[in-house]
Amino acid sequence: MSNKTNVLLVGSGGVGTLAAYNLEIGGLASVTSVLRSNHDAVSQNGFTITSLDHGYVKGWKPSTIRNSVPDVGKECLRPFDFIVVTTKNIADVSPTVTETIAPAVTAGHTTIVLLQNGLNIEKPLLVAFPMNPVLSGVSLIGATETSPGVILHDDRDRLIIGAFTNPNLPLSTSITSAQMFVQLYSASEKVSCTYNENVGFVRWRKLVYNACYNSACAITHMDTSRMRILKYPIDDVVRPLMLEIVAIAKAAGHVLPESIVEDMINCDPEDTYFKPSMQQDIEKGNFMEFENIVGEPLREAEKLAVPAPNLKMVYGLLKILQTNIKEAKGLVSFPTGPILLDQF
């Protein structure tokens, strides 16, 4: 086992579990998975996976299961070569990604792979871990944990890996790490994993869907199929948002294909009544990862003087909804007595 690449995976829901399984069956990696809510179920019975790529798998466990992120120094563990993060990126709620993985990072050795959505997700990590390569992972997959330890994978695993620019390291170092991870992930010969040097283009392209459909569905509680059937939610809300994202991307130096808006509007099968992740989260009372998906593109628009009134409105509404969730979870409180204007 010691001659295999040592991988820590943080976030064993649907996407994370498929990533861990694929890495292990490729034979080149040994995976330590950090499990939270599903820890007891998986410890007892393993994962049950129904997958388009891997078939039916029952009782599978990663090489190592943990219920918390290991502290490499205190526990005298072998350094992790890669830390793969597949949790939602809730940038406005502690602990952040940086705080979560810090005990497991070995300076100058560990490569951090962010299989997460959004823009500028690498910036806090480059500050916290200046001597470690940070990779971009854009996952195009449909995988859901339907109950603790039970995974349904119904859209094939396509992963695009690139290297974020780390000003403290030669670009070649980060590129080498990215290409090594592509080799590890591709070794199963069951999935598609490719290297793409244009990280910004890939991330802006996915934002056309995520910043727009995700936001509109979360705010309205309407799935993508109903929006397309009714048409006016697309014409009045979704398409204007997508056109703003395309304009911001262009100003940032990433010219997206002319067909991108219509392609993204129609990318989900109409009969699936699909609920994007932020809609699912808000309906469950969970935090939404809207800061990097909506907030960061909006801040780029303001910096580049690109008008984005629709995106600004959506960001404000999502921030209100997130505050409601924070209040319900006891992270925000409001005065119960007389309110003085200078309190706010």
- Residues 227, 258, 256: CA angle, nearest 5 degrees: 100
- Number of neighbouring beta carbons within 10 Å of residue 281: 22
Would residue 339 count as lying in a domain? Answer: no
- Answer whether residue 14 shows pLDDT above 90: yes
Secondary structure of residue 103 in the 3-state scheme = helix
Q: Same domain for 96 and 153?
A: yes
- Answer whether residue 84 shows pLDDT above 50: yes
- Answer whether residue 68 shows pLDDT above 70: yes
**Whether pTM exceeds 0.75:** yes
- Answer whether residue 145 shows pLDDT above 50: yes
Position 278 scores a pLDDT of 95
Would residue 337 count as lying in a domain? Answer: no
Strands 64-66 and 82-85: unpaired
Q: Same domain for 176 and 291?
A: no
CA distance 21 to 169: 31
Within a 13 Å sphere around the CA of 246, how many CA atoms are in the beta-carbon half? 16
What stretches of the chain adopt beta strand conformation (E)?
Answer: 5-10, 29-34, 47-51, 55-60, 64-66, 82-85, 111-114, 134-147, 150-163, 192-195
Q: What is the rounded average pLDDT of the residues 294-322?
A: 98
Position 209 scores a pLDDT of 97
Q: Same domain for 187 and 259?
A: no
Position 229 scores a pLDDT of 96
How many domains is the chain built from?
2
Q: Same domain for 9 and 148?
A: yes
Q: 198-234: per-residue pLDDT in tens?
A: 999 999 999 999 999 999 999 999 999 999 999 999 9
- Answer whether residue 305 shows pLDDT above 70: yes
Q: What is the rounded average pLDDT of the residues 82-108?
A: 96
Q: Same domain for 173 and 239?
A: no
Q: How many residues does the chain have?
A: 344
Q: Same domain for 222 and 149?
A: no
| Domain boundaries, position 251 | 200-328
Position 155 scores a pLDDT of 86
- Answer whether residue 277 shows pLDDT above 60: yes
Mean pLDDT across the chain: 95
Q: Which of 314, 312, 296, 309 lies closest to 213, judged by CA?
A: 314
Cis peptide before 95 (omega within 30 of 0): yes
pLDDT tier at 330, thresholds 50, 70, 90: very high
- Answer whether residue 344 shows pLDDT above 60: no
Q: Same domain for 108 and 167?
A: yes
Find the CATH number of the domain harbouring 109.
3.40.50.720
- End-to-end alpha carbon distance in the chain: 57
Q: Same domain for 140 and 275?
A: no
Find the CATH number of the domain harbouring 231.
1.10.1040.10
